[in-house]
Structure 1
Amino acid sequence: MTAISLSQLNDVTVGIRLGTAIQDKAMTVSRVGDRFTVAYDRERVSLDGAAMLSRSWLRTMGYTVAEIILEDHDPDLTALYRSCSKLRMNVEHAEGPLITEPVVKGRGEEWSYMVPKGWDLSDALSRLPSAFAAARPNIARNLSRIEQDRRESGGKIDQALDITVSLILETGDPEGVYDELALLFGRTPPESGESAV
């Protein structure tokens, strides 16, 4: 069973923008409320690298990056980053013969959407759901079930569903999340394959 930690419930938004010419570090981080802003020097770190480093650093501080919003970047790139971040994935622009089309890859607990350099970003965004489902079928099935629950509930339990989605994406263990949530609410864990919400 998955043990749910408080840090997994501590979702934050990260805005990423280009730094100024006088910025003396590769990246600077500032915070207002539950939003962090990262300014990066593209001469010293790539956008992909800045996003991955931000996610890793915030995780060590007890935060989960639930959304990345690019500021003053190409709209298609911004949409791709935002969609991937909502699935708790990095974006990596890959070079070389191994990645010939957009694909989701995992390294340990980290997941990335690998997009060949120069690939049309709107096409990459349209391929994201199928690439995610191919790489993480159990997670995709559970997220689809939760979206169905959301439609049927008429908005009454959206916050609980948002928390459930966040935990499933963070842990990669839907059944463990359902069991843990059922225990938290004093219910018997659901039978395998059933939704707890």
Structure 2
Amino acid sequence: MTLVSRERLFAAPLHLHKGDARQPLAITLRRDGGHFVATYDPERASLDTAAMLARVRLSSEGIAVSELILVDHAPELTALYRGASKLLLDVEVTSGPRITEPVVRVISQQPTQAVYFIPEGWDPSDALDRLPAAFATARPEIARYLQLIKEAKKEAGGKIDEALDMMAVLILETDDPPGVIEEVARICRQVRSERSTDGAPAKAA
């Protein structure tokens, strides 16, 4: 089964704005150059719901959200949602009695369907600090591969950050690190081969 295709090798930032009741829908989504813009009416949709639905909508069109950027929100909240989005996590603030501290939980049989649950009133900065450990507890193998990618980025000195970031997203999406690495290597070999062919001088008839 092919886990990676050129069509899937596309991720873009999502900017999330607060709108108001004047917009026709509770949540609107549009493309703006190299990123996407979602606008939500807080009276009709919560921040958590707006972020989740916008990401699902883009995913259904084959677009991964590389990072979620809240616009005109509190800096601590913006940092928390951005950090969670880089792990493909939705954020849900809950007042339920079962959640007493920030925790990542897989909510379906698909490991990629995970949510960072945060108790209502919890400090966003503290929740961000706890995020890596919470994620590693929920998805230990994926956390290990992400750490390896992070170390590879340091060793590469920024030369292949984009490729490594895309690999991290694909690993998070597919939950199959070996398969992603194999497929990405295959695509890279194919691209190099095509470039070599295109750049080769034409043979005389």
TM-score under structure 2 length normalisation: 0.85
Q: The residue matched to 1:9 in structure 2 has which SS? A: coil
Task: Give 1:6-45 correspondences, 5 Å limit.
Answer: 6-45=6-45
Look up the match of 1:148.
Answer: 151
* 8 Å contact kept, 2:68–2:81: yes
The CA deviation string for residues 85-112 of structure 1, in whole angstroms up to 9 with x for no partner, is 1111111111211111100111233111
Task: Tell me how far 1:51 sits from its aligned partner.
Answer: 0.4
The CA deviation string for residues 50-108 of structure 1, in whole angstroms up to 9 with x for no partner, is 00000111111221111111111111110000001111111111121111110011123
Look up the match of 1:60.
Answer: 60
Alignment of 1:125 with 2:124, yes or no, is: no
Look up the match of 1:103.
Answer: 103
Letter in 1 for 2:169: S
Look up the match of 1:79.
Answer: 79
Task: Tell me how far 1:10 sits from its aligned partner.
Answer: 1.5
Structure 2: how far apart are the matches of 1:162 and 1:20? 34
Letter in 2 for 1:178: I
Task: Tell me how far 1:170 sits from its aligned partner.
Answer: 1.5
Structure 1: how far apart are the matches of 2:14 and 2:185? 31
Alignment of 1:177 with 2:175, yes or no, is: no
RMSD: 1.7
Q: Percent identity over the alignment?
A: 51
Alignment of 1:89 with 2:89, yes or no, is: yes
1:165 to 155, 165, 168: 168
Structure 1: how far apart are the matches of 2:50 and 2:172? 21
Letter in 2 for 1:17: H
* 8 Å contact kept, 1:15–1:71: yes
Structure 1 or 2, whichever has the larger Rg, is 2
Structure 2 unmatched ranges of 5 or more: 191-205
Letter in 2 for 1:169: L
Task: Tell me how far 1:133 sits from its aligned partner.
Answer: 0.8
Q: Which runs of 4+ in 1 moved over 6 A?
A: none
Structure 2: how far apart are the matches of 1:80 and 1:7? 29
Task: Tell me how far 1:122 sits from its aligned partner.
Answer: 0.8
Structure 2: how far apart are the matches of 1:172 and 1:25? 34
Q: The residue matched to 1:67 in structure 2 has which SS? A: strand
Structure 1 unmatched ranges of 5 or more: 188-197
Letter in 2 for 1:44: R
* 8 Å contact kept, 1:2–1:171: no
